Structure 1
């Protein structure tokens, strides 16, 4: 352990952090010419696609700006949003929004996961700023398309991993990157949520899941009057409406619409080690869990990623656990049994963290430990950071360059699970090199009338 009055080994200063951030952001974000020198009191003209649930929250968080367009396939959501933003034009199909609206500066996308890329790409191609909910896309190939389009656009982008703006995450990143627990060679991330396909009715009830789905239902339920079901399906294969998909987050269990807990909560929880350990593309991925189902993501499973050395950091293994799966050190009571958490294992100790707190372990070893002076500035707020970036060209911390790699990695966990094989990954070629079984999960086919180009 570092001496009490000495800075921890590899400590990064605030000045170094700001310099690094400036260099990184310069390569991924350049403010459009029309915004340079703009009066910061000017309001952005924002179109919001998806205005119910999380979309309603995102709309509220950008309502300090001019809301010029609202879009939702659910007329009920659209009507409620229009009551507060009566001046905004209303749309059910976001393709029509892009056809008919040109005087906008930015877009907020909060649709279901399987349409994220389709709602995001036209705005980037038009040189607009974009805030998109997590996960960034439904597939690895879509994440690559969106990340590269964002780089080409040079506009302000942000993925909706709101916890990334929290002070606790920043302090944890500082501790790991300044060497508080030495060289980190293992990281473990677990969440207790067990939503998906359950092995028994008892497991479903114990998980407090909200829908018991074991197979695709053959029967159709009446389509809710307020819902345009065909537009909700979008690029996904056609199927009759059933209430196991809608309303609420029921859809995320189904491979055609989402990627289960792995891409949902993984976007938030894997974000912390991804940031702290400077991760990008894994070299290999291997998963464990129940026999994969063709239609539905699992309630419980785990994935291990192998990463090579990065800058001054050694190779590291990162393991994700969801539902009933937990790290061995957790089940053996070797650490506090937090319901969800991130454990970093270094050669000089361990760091356990969740959204709001962290602990250096073993505690007696760190009694006299002095944390480094904060060198990552506290956030002005996840949405506020994006709005400021739109107006000034300042960097965002969850821009699509960072979020694109995080999304690819999370999706690779599901690919390994669904393939049932250890995967060796060539990120440059976006290809699994040791088995052809994975190719079908890298890129998906789209329903007639939907293209991503």
Structure 2
């Protein structure tokens, strides 16, 4: 089926392990993995980072790494030289590449770690290639585009013993740890239901693919941008932001905000892999009587319900509701009429047998309900806070890379981020199931996915009662990738 497997020959055009041995030998600062074993600290005590995707969020990521004072941005890689210009100006000593495969082929011995901030569809292939070379990795959320890719990276983190972190920076906020402490202390009893919601998307979704191709910008290497995705002609307004709403490249509102909002329930309740999923989606009308059918595009809104089996921290199953496109759950009775629900557009609500608690995006602004309880209830601090909170997410990874695998705690290692990402992508399976049609009567069609609770076989990574949707668990990569 797809080409990403835990073998270097399947990840890029060359055998990375072989080529890393044959790479150029000139060093400007010798990386610690060359000089010593696990946990070795180089004489410079500075992490040498190669950054793949350095515009937009990638630009702010590498600026945060550099701000720690313990990392050098040694190499920059981006398919769009125009978008990369600001980072090139900020790090003039960094050597520039367009193709990450060439970067890893030629510069493997000169780097300790790789930061990846590309569109979702190219996360996994770049990340696995770096891990196979023994490089620590920081990857923007969501970790991967497909469930299969997330499982591969989760297992690879253990196999290659590299330091990993996903870029859901709210995982390092104090709010998540406060929620954990309230729950562990029994303040709200046993949580059985969670709601997570967002006002995203803030880009077009539920629309047809543009019918008119456009000229590729002179600074953009379109073929490299497409990477693993099927070839299509370039269209206006896809790059650099609106790709999020197209299934070939993005993962919709779930991929954009899910890692920020669902991380807290995962940590608080010890969730891992879901057992079943069902969804409803917003409908698009192209005229007064005709519904639009645009299977290439994510829907404008959705409500997904995931069931998670009992964990060590719950008495029974947990039902998690995801809502996007501006849909929100019913306001809790304990929330004052004039109090903002979450942060106004996003939030996470925990419902327990003895009470409720709530947080906004990134697990921030954690509160008990009614909010007066927040100041009244005092519990012992059990979890170490991360200096700098969300901004400290970057420094935490840098410090852990310097310390070496297994020697420092991380807020979002792949061992946790992989299952979280899988849950979000499983929710997308239910959403995409609405676009699968079967022939109906009188030349019409039926959409059986609209009315199903999809049952998940976690070991084999497949839905057991709706075979057609399994095509999205593991996609085909474009020839050559």
TM-score normalised by structure 2 residue count = 0.80
2:57 to 32, 54, 57: 54
1:185-264 pair list within 5 angstroms: 185-193=192-200, 195=201, 209-211=202-204, 214-247=207-240, 249-264=241-256
| Secondary structure of 2:382's aligned partner | coil
Cα distance between partner residues in 2 of 1:378 and 1:257: 35
> Per-residue deviation at 1:79?
3.5
1:165 to 172, 188, 193: 172
Deviations 1:24-61 (A, max 9, x none): xxxxxxx9762424258611111010110000001101
* Structure 1 residues 98 and 192: alpha-carbon distance in aligned structure 2, compared to 1, 3 A threshold: same
RMSD between superposed Cα atoms in Å? 2.2
| Secondary structure of 2:469's aligned partner | helix
* Structure 1 residues 230 and 284: alpha-carbon distance in aligned structure 2, compared to 1, 3 A threshold: same
1:76 to 79, 82, 93: 82
Report the equivalent of 2:278. Answer: 286
Report the equivalent of 1:388. Answer: 399
Q: Any stretches of 5+ residues in structure 2 without a counterpart?
A: 1-31, 284-292, 434-448
* Structure 1 residues 41 and 100: alpha-carbon distance in aligned structure 2, compared to 1, 3 A threshold: closer
* Structure 1 residues 287 and 334: alpha-carbon distance in aligned structure 2, compared to 1, 3 A threshold: farther
| 8 Å CA contact retained: 2:270, 2:313 | no
| 8 Å CA contact retained: 1:78, 1:90 | no
* Bigger mean CA deviation after superposition, 60-69 or 302-311: 60-69
| Secondary structure of 1:77's aligned partner | helix
Cα distance between partner residues in 2 of 1:299 and 1:444: 23
Report the equivalent of 2:128. Answer: 121
| 8 Å CA contact retained: 1:211, 1:244 | no
Report the equivalent of 1:38. Answer: 41
| 8 Å CA contact retained: 2:335, 2:371 | no
| 8 Å CA contact retained: 1:424, 1:434 | yes
Deviations 1:68-92 (A, max 9, x none): 2110001123343222322222100
1:300 aligns to 2:292 (yes or no): no
1:267 aligns to 2:259 (yes or no): yes
> Per-residue deviation at 1:190?
1.0
Cα distance between partner residues in 1 of 2:203 and 2:305: 28
TM-score normalised by structure 1 residue count = 0.84
1:441 aligns to 2:472 (yes or no): yes
Cα distance between partner residues in 1 of 2:249 and 2:322: 22
| 8 Å CA contact retained: 2:197, 2:328 | yes
* Bigger mean CA deviation after superposition, 44-53 or 33-42: 33-42
Deviations 1:170-206 (A, max 9, x none): 211221232210001111111122x2xxxxxxxxxxx
> Per-residue deviation at 1:416?
0.9
Q: Any stretches of 5+ residues in structure 1 without a counterpart?
A: 1-30, 196-208
Deviations 1:197-235 (A, max 9, x none): xxxxxxxxxxxx454771011211111111111110111
2:356 to 350, 367, 371: 350
Report the equivalent of 2:186. Answer: 179
| Secondary structure of 1:34's aligned partner | coil
